[in-house]
Amino acid sequence: MKIIAVANQKGGVGKTTTSVNLAACLAAQGVKTLLIDIDPQANATSALGLPTIDGHSIYEPLLGGAPIAEKVVPTRWRHLWVIPGDLALAGAEIEVARAEDHLTRLRSAMVPLRNDSTFDFVLLDCPPSLGILMTNALAAADELLIPLQCEYFALEGLSKIHQIVNKIRECGANPTLTIGGILMTMFMRNNLATQVIAEVQNHFGDVIFKTVIPRTVRLSEAPSHGLPIHEYDPNGLGATAYKALATEFLDRHKWPAAAVPA
């Protein structure tokens, strides 16, 4: 089982859109996927048409009050499970910060899931901040996937999150954390977007995904219908891009081709 944190401290970069649609596209290819909504706003939960369920977020597991496996709920999509988000997670920022092991609470809570191996991939949809919830996600994850908007200021945000990754490694909370991929999002065909992509490629090389997510109205509309983009607009540019991302993601993780249905 691989745990992937989908994170960027800057909001509005397509982080939740990527978490939801990558998880849905992986599940559609027969990959057992768990999406954990760590954001108190619970946008990933609502984007799949699911209600917030009192007592079913990772709030209690973070505080040591319940096993994380008890919080997993199935979705109507085969191979896709969710741990919903809720407003209680906002309180976790304060309560977890008081604990001595405040950086590794989620890492410890995830141990039974790792040992059980029910899921192939776990995606952590992080809040757009550098608080306790995001740092816990980075400490728990094997890899970090960074959605990056094709705009100039995105480059500044990328340097900050790179610094946070180094600090998580150096403090011992997660010495093996790697940046597994940088995904360029909200792409429009203009010189600025092309320059930003070239700059990121210059610094990070093969870490950047070849797949680029376009800016489309359909991607913005899909969450209001509670549907992933491959169901809401199956033949559109957004669906095509996220399907390609799922395939590239599996290729990077050397996923056996026989496990992926045609």
Q: Tell me the pLDDT tens digit for each residue of 88-116.
A: 898 888 888 888 888 999 999 999 998 88
Mean pLDDT of the chain: 90
Question: What pLDDT, on the 0 to 100 scale, is given for residue 208?
Answer: 92
Give every CB contact of residue 246 below 8 A, 6+ residues apart in sequence.
22, 25, 26, 28, 29
Q: Determine the average pLDDT of the residues in 120-138.
A: 93
With contact defined as beta carbons under 8 Å apart, do 32 and 152 qualify? no
Say how far apart CA 204 and CA 197 lie, in whole Å. Answer: 10
Say how far apart CA 243 and CA 159 lie, in whole Å. Answer: 28
Q: What are phi and psi of 133, to 5 degrees?
A: -65, -45
Give every CB contact of residue 249 below 8 A, 6+ residues apart in sequence.
22, 26, 181, 209
Say how far apart CA 69 and CA 62 lie, in whole Å. Answer: 12
Q: Is the dihedral of CA 243, 245, 248, 254 positive or negative?
A: negative
Question: Tell me, which fold does domain 2-259 have in CATH?
Answer: Rossmann fold (3.40.50)
Question: What pLDDT, on the 0 to 100 scale, is given for residue 109?
Answer: 94
Longest dimension (CA), the chain: 51
Does the structure show a pLDDT above 60 at 259?
Answer: no
Does the structure show a pLDDT above 80 at 261?
Answer: no
pLDDT digits (tens, 9 = 90+) for 14-58: 899 999 999 999 999 999 999 999 999 999 999 999 988 888 899
Q: Taking the chain, what is the end-to-end CA distance rounded to the nearest angstrom?
A: 23
Q: Rounded to the nearest 5 degrees, what angle is found at the Cα of 185, between the Cα atoms of 214 and 57?
A: 120
Say how far apart CA 37 and CA 12 lie, in whole Å. Answer: 16
| Tokens describing residue 253 | 């993780």
Question: What pLDDT, on the 0 to 100 scale, is given for residue 233?
Answer: 95
Question: What pLDDT, on the 0 to 100 scale, is given for residue 79?
Answer: 96
The residue ranges of every structural domain in the chain are 2-259
Does the structure show a pLDDT above 60 at 153?
Answer: yes
Say how far apart CA 94 and CA 82 lie, in whole Å. Answer: 24
Does the structure show a pLDDT above 50 at 70?
Answer: yes
> Coil, strand, or helix at residue 34?
strand
Say how far apart CA 189 and CA 54 lie, in whole Å. Answer: 43
Q: Which amino acid is at 45?
A: T
pLDDT digits (tens, 9 = 90+) for 178-232: 999 999 998 777 777 788 788 887 778 889 999 999 999 999 999 999 999 999 9
> How many C-beta neighbours within 10 Å does residue 243 have?
20
Does the structure show a pLDDT above 50 at 63?
Answer: yes
Question: What pLDDT, on the 0 to 100 scale, is given for residue 175?
Answer: 95
Question: What pLDDT, on the 0 to 100 scale, is given for residue 258?
Answer: 47
Q: What are the distances in angstroms from CA 120 to CA 181, 187, 237?
A: 18, 30, 27
Question: What pLDDT, on the 0 to 100 scale, is given for residue 202?
Answer: 79
Say how far apart CA 224 and CA 250 lie, in whole Å. Answer: 28
Of 154, 142, 136, 169, the C-alpha closest to 62 is 136
